[in-house]
């Protein structure tokens, strides 16, 4: 029975285009998968996060910036916003809020075809120490949901450079 459940989850993830990473157990796998998705980006990356990024993910995004039409960052952290605002194809927005801790999720949407949602920051020491989940999907329903979240948060955000 123990072997049946993981096999069934694998089957469902392949059929429905979803992948799940339980943290901290699958921290390395999750960060590697995200890095590969970023490296494969063709047109756009949208990142919503209040947290700093793992060094490898940050490097992968910066490397792709010259090949992308747009990189959009929505964050509640001025430090994170400033670190990405200096790049050419970046559209950086700060979430309007008195409390920088209002944003409690990380969402990554690549080419409007692949999306990942995380309950924790995408930093190695956090993904290895905190219990959470990262869910990635390519299904049209999930992508529509991610785009809806992005639209709503854009309305609650201001450009970093006003």
Domain span at residue 65 reads 17-159
- Give this prediction's pTM: 0.86
The answer to the question of residue 57 being in a domain is yes
The answer to the question of residue 7 being in a domain is no
pLDDT band at residue 12, thresholds of 50, 70 and 90?
very low
Q: How many domains does the chain contain in total?
A: 1
CATH number at residue 144: 3.30.870.10
Query: Are 113 and 138 in contact, with CB atoms under 8 Å apart?
Result: yes
Q: What is the spatial distance between Cα 74 and Cα 25, in angstroms, rounded to a whole number?
A: 28
| pLDDT cut 90: percent of the chain above it | 64
Give the distance from CA 114 to its chain's centroid.
10
The answer to the question of residue 98 being in a domain is yes
Mean pLDDT for the stretch of residues 55-60: 95
The answer to the question of residue 6 being in a domain is no
Q: What is the spatial distance between Cα 108 and Cα 72, in angstroms, rounded to a whole number?
A: 10
The answer to the question of residue 97 being in a domain is yes
Residue carrying the six token digits 């096999």: 7
Q: What pLDDT does residue 17 have?
A: 64
From the CB of residue 9, how many other CB atoms can be counted at a distance below 10 Å? 13
Q: What is the spatial distance between Cα 11 and Cα 81, in angstroms, rounded to a whole number?
A: 39
The answer to the question of residue 23 being in a domain is yes
Query: Are 115 and 37 in contact, with CB atoms under 8 Å apart?
Result: no
The answer to the question of residue 41 being in a domain is yes
Kindly report, residue by residue over 67-113, the tens digit of the pLDDT.
999 999 999 999 999 999 999 889 999 998 766 567 889 999 999 99
């Amino acid at each position: 029975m123990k072997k049946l459940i993981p096999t069934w989850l694998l089957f469902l993830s392949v059929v429905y285009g979803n992948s799940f990473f339980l943290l901290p157990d699958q921290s390395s796998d999750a960060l590697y998968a995200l890095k590969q998705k970023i490296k494969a980006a063709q047109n756009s990356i949208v990142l919503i996060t209040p947290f700093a990024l793992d060094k490898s993910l940050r490097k992968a995004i910066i490397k792709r910036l010259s090949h992308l039409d747009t990189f959009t960052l929505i964050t509640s952290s001025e430090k994170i916003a400033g670190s990405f605002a200096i790049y050419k194809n970046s559209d950086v927005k700060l979430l309007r809020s008195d409390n920088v801790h209002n944003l409690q999720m990380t969402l990554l949407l690549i080419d409007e075809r692949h999306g990942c949602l995380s309950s924790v920051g995408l930093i190695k020491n956090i993904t290895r120490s905190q219990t959470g989940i990262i869910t990635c999907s390519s299904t049209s329903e999930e992508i529509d949901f991610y785009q809806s979240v992005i639209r709503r948060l854009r309305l609650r955000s201001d450009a970093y450079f006003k």
